[in-house]
Amino acid sequence: MKKLFFKIIVGASALSIILSLNGCKKYLDIQPVSQYSVQQAFGDVANATTSVLGAYDELQGQNGYGLYLGLYFPFDTDEAIQSGGLDNERRGIARYQLLLSNGALRAPFLALYRGLEKANLCIEQIPLMDAYSTGSEADQRDLKRLYGEALTLRAQYLFDLVKIWGDVPAPFTPAYKQADLYLPTLNRDTIYDHILNDLAIAKDLVPWRTEVPRNERITKGAVKALRARIALFCGGYSLRNESKKMERRSDYLTYHKIARDECADIMARRDQHTLDPSFEELWKTYVSGLKPDPYGEVIFEVAAGGGNSNSDGRQGVNDGPSTNAQSRVGQGLGAIQIVPSYFYAFDSVDTRRDVSITNYQINADSRKQARVFTQLTTGKYRRDWRNPLLPGTGLALSYNCVLIRFSDILLMFAEAENEINNGPSSAAIAAMEEVRKRAYKGNESKIGVTTGSKTGFFDAIVNERYLEFGNEHLRKYDLVRWNLLGTLLAPTTGTLRTKLRALSLDPNVPQYMYWRNTPGSDEIEWFGSFYKPSPATAPLPAFNATSAPYGWRQLNWREDLSRTTNVLNVGATNVHYMDAIGYFFTPNKSELYPFDQATLDSYQGKLKQNPNY
């Protein structure tokens, strides 16, 4: 009896010990159910495609081009500004008061690095897949394309980081393979060289746009276009951490050549990419109509859809005209306002003006109402153009965010040629005039004579890009790479303020404009001209809500710019609108953004802040 008892105890103890040491290993070895291991995520072509789509994800959404990168960061410039008084979000960024606590500063920084990490995982894993080297021809082709896309995405994420923050930590391997997570910053030239090489590899891996079904995925044109753009930035000015000055590398012409060659390649394939004959059609029919343009003018774009803050963007809601939530078009915030001088930068027959600028708002009764001079809004993405309309307060309209258009290829080509040849070649002049002629459609004779001098041509390029790419988040970064942002935004003496002051006194700009709703319609019509003094007497009948609902109304035009009460809050004080634009801009500081406080904290002192922050 005692023996039996003893045996049971020993047996039970032994069993427990054995189970705990060996048997339970199997019991405790569990596999993910909803989740995927890294190997599974790159198990076949379909999964690898889903992984690459995951790497695309960070381009879009509130943290990407859908809001912060596309609609917060590119302002203020001489093109447009963020409306309203100072805050610690979009207006803080726009006025160049970049507090390290600004949430809109941190979120896109994180998103770009998330995108980089995902691209790095794809770049590491796709070549390891069996199908990549031994799969069927179709599989190999698909995987090469995916690999090329991942390289391009990595280049895009790093390009945005360098463009905004300068020298940054630049991991080229996934985090779980990094021995030290506290990467030091890498010189931007090294980063640029690396991604330009990556893109040189990628361009041979991805197909031209017509070789595959049409969608927003990266094609050969996009890789080449991005390579050209990056090359121009690499060869342009930037604020250097060492000297704390705006400088460009001495061998910059090497990069102009890269840009010129890539652009020339694309221009040689007009079957793939060319200009839409109509500037307005591109934006109104295709972008706002949610369909691809048949000309391939849009070469690279961030896709939008789903109406949420991750996979969709706020183009047409934050920017575009202010529209009332109760109107049939739904709510537009009109948060980005055109600088008045931009309106007058256009020739009266330039078709780009009324696409790029909206001078109306839409009220609750869906009727348009004219806007005063300093409250004009952007126009390429506008809610009232959406086809079909989307009423309500939804913040996302599924408007793709255009990154590179064919006109950019033409202008980059012209710019690079001018630098390389020390003056514009005939091809360069033709490329620029092609852009102008499309803009002056119907009045092509009025485009003027293109100068043959190097500086004159350069200035013309600067101006043409200003007119062509309004609200396409390029202006500020172009001005930086040309080292012109400082002279433009300098307090009191800046060229922008000089220009605005002159405009506020220009007798040929009307003091007031008169407008009315076209009888029987919600549209607006104007009395007189934007380019002549106000009429001596107001047109009749004058507006009256009950007796003359379609009467004429007076609108502050130049008056709105010159009135002393047109002030914006810039923190402790209110200053005049003209002075408030980019109020805190400081040369040799504001060209780069700072690393936010939480990022510095997480680096535990191992990350150096950008100059003068």
Partner 1 sequence: MKRTFLLLLFLVSATVSTLAQSRSISGRVTKGSSADALVGATVTVKGTSNSTTTNNEGRYIINVSGTNPVLVFSFVGQATLEIPVGNKTTVDAAIQDETSTLNDVVVVGYSSVRRRDLTGSVSSVGAKQLRDIPLSNAAEALTGKLAGVQVTTTEGAPGADVIIRIRGGGSITQDNSPIYIVDGVQVENALSVISPQDIASVDVLKDASTTAIYGARGANGVVLITTKSGRPGRTIVSYNGAFGFRKIARKMDVLNPYEFVVWQYEKAQLTNDTSFNRIYGSTWDTLQNYKNTPSINWQDEVFGRQAPYQNHNVSVSGGNANTTFNFSVTSNKEEGIQIESGFDRKLVNFKLDHKASDRFRMGFTARYLDQVIRGAGTTNSGTRTTNRLRHSIQYRPFDIPTAPSVEEFDETYYQRSAGITNPVLITEAEYRRAFQKGINVSGYFTYNLLKNLAFRSTTGFDNTYARQDQFFSKITGTARSFGNLPTVSIADQNSITINNSNTLQYTLNNVAKHHDIDVLVGEETYETRSKSLSVETRYLPADISPAKALANINLGSPPAGTSQPAPRSGETPPNRIFSVFGRLNYSYDKKFLVSIATRADRSSKFKYENGLLIFPSGSAAYRFSQEKFMQGLDWISDAKIRVGFGTAGNNRIGDLLYLQLYGVNGEYPLNHTILPGFAPSALANENLKWERTTSNNVGLDLSFFKNRASLTIDMYKNVGNDLLLSVAIPPTTGYSSQLQNVGSTSNKGIEFQLNATPVQNKTFSWNSNFNISLNKNRVENLGGLLEQTRNSGWQGSDGLDDYLVRVGEPIGLMYGFVTDGIYTIDDFTYNATTAAYTLKPGIANANANVGVLRPGVLKFKDQATVDTNGDGKPDAPDGQITAADRVIIGNANPKFTGGWNNQFTYRNFDMSVFVNFVYGGDIYNANKIEWTDGTFPNLNLLGTMRNRWRNINDQGVLVTDPVELAKLNPNGGSTQYSPLAAQRFFLRDDAIEDGSFLRINNVTLGYTLPTTLSKRVKISSLRVYATVNNLATITKYSGYDPEVTARRSDPLTPGVDFGAYPRSRTWVFGLNVSF
Residues 105-164 binding partner 1 (CB under 8 A) are: 106, 109-110, 113-114, 116-118, 120-121
Helix axes 188-202, 137-165, angle to 10 degrees: 160
How far apart, in Å, do the first and last CA atoms of the chain sit?
84
Least distance between partner 1 and beta carbon 412 (Å)? 27
Angle 380-382-388 from CA coordinates, rounded to 5°: 120
Asked if 41 contacts 47 with a C-beta cutoff of 8 angstroms, the reply is yes
Piece of 37-45, 68-76, 350-358, 490-498 that binds partner 1 (CB under 8 A)? 37-45
Q: Which amino acid is located at 607 in the chain?
A: L
Least distance between partner 1 and beta carbon 522 (Å)? 20
Number of CB atoms found within 10 A of residue 588's CB: 15
Is 20 a binding residue for partner 1 by CB under 8 A? The answer is yes
Piece of 74-82, 190-198, 310-318, 436-444 that binds partner 1 (CB under 8 A)? 310-318
Is 19 a binding residue for partner 1 by CB under 8 A? The answer is yes
Phi, psi of 300 (to 5 degrees): -140, 125
Q: Please state, in angstroms and rounded to a whole number, the distance separating the CA atoms of residues 338 and 470.
A: 9
Q: Please state, in angstroms and rounded to a whole number, the distance separating the CA atoms of residues 191 and 205.
A: 21
Ranges within 196-215 binding partner 1 (CB under 8 A): 214-215
Ranges within 47-66 binding partner 1 (CB under 8 A): 47, 50-57, 59-60
From residue 349 to residue 388, what is the string marking binding to partner 1 with x (rule CB under 8 A)? -------------------------------------x-x
Q: Which amino acid is located at 69 in the chain?
A: L
Is 422 a binding residue for partner 1 by CB under 8 A? The answer is no
Least distance between partner 1 and beta carbon 403 (Å)? 15
What is the SS3 string spanning 265-321? HHHCCCCCCCCCCCHHHHHHHHHCCCCCCCCCCEEEEECCCCCCCCCCCCCCCCCCC
Is 305 a binding residue for partner 1 by CB under 8 A? The answer is yes
Q: Which is nearer to partner 1, 57 or 347 (CB)?
A: 57
Q: Which is nearer to partner 1, 386 or 473 (CB)?
A: 386
Is 325 a binding residue for partner 1 by CB under 8 A? The answer is yes
Is 84 a binding residue for partner 1 by CB under 8 A? The answer is no
Q: Which amino acid is located at 321 in the chain?
A: P
Q: Which is nearer to partner 1, 138 or 181 (CB)?
A: 181
Among 281, 283, 274, CA closest to 320: 283
Least distance between partner 1 and beta carbon 66 (Å)? 11
Pick from 130, 133, 136, 178: which binds partner 1 (CB under 8 A)? 178
Is 32 a binding residue for partner 1 by CB under 8 A? The answer is yes
Piece of 127-135, 173-181, 402-410, 583-591 that binds partner 1 (CB under 8 A)? 173-181
Least distance between partner 1 and beta carbon 9 (Å)? 7
Token readout for 512 is 């007031």
Least distance between partner 1 and beta carbon 251 (Å)? 28
Q: Please state, in angstroms and rounded to a whole number, the distance separating the CA atoms of residues 354 and 341.
A: 14
Least distance between partner 1 and beta carbon 391 (Å)? 6
Is 545 a binding residue for partner 1 by CB under 8 A? The answer is no
Pick from 390, 439, 447, 580: which binds partner 1 (CB under 8 A)? 390
Is 27 a binding residue for partner 1 by CB under 8 A? The answer is yes
Pick from 169, 494, 582, 594: which binds partner 1 (CB under 8 A)? 169
Longest C-alpha distance within the chain, in Å? Answer: 123
Is 222 a binding residue for partner 1 by CB under 8 A? The answer is no
Is 547 a binding residue for partner 1 by CB under 8 A? The answer is no
Is 492 a binding residue for partner 1 by CB under 8 A? The answer is no
Ranges within 272-291 binding partner 1 (CB under 8 A): 290
Sequence-distant (≥ 6) Cβ neighbours of residue 96 within 8 angstroms: 76, 489, 582, 583, 584, 585, 586, 590
Number of CB atoms found within 10 A of residue 23's CB: 12
The partner residues of 246 in beta bridges, in order of sequence, read: 239
* DSSP code, position 71: I
In angstroms, the Cα distances linking 606 to 101, 168, 181, 573, 603 are: 19, 12, 11, 37, 5
What's the number of CA atoms in the CB half-sphere (13 Å) around residue 338? 30
Is 546 a binding residue for partner 1 by CB under 8 A? The answer is no
Is 312 a binding residue for partner 1 by CB under 8 A? The answer is yes
What's the number of CA atoms in the CB half-sphere (13 Å) around residue 482? 22
Least distance between partner 1 and beta carbon 330 (Å)? 8
Count of residues in contact with partner 1, rule CB under 8 A: 102
Token readout for 165 is 């923050």
Token readout for 254 is 């090497």
Is 604 a binding residue for partner 1 by CB under 8 A? The answer is yes
Piece of 250-258, 395-403, 415-423, 529-537 that binds partner 1 (CB under 8 A)? 395-403
Token readout for 240 is 């250097």
Piece of 299-307, 474-482, 504-512, 576-584 that binds partner 1 (CB under 8 A)? 299-307
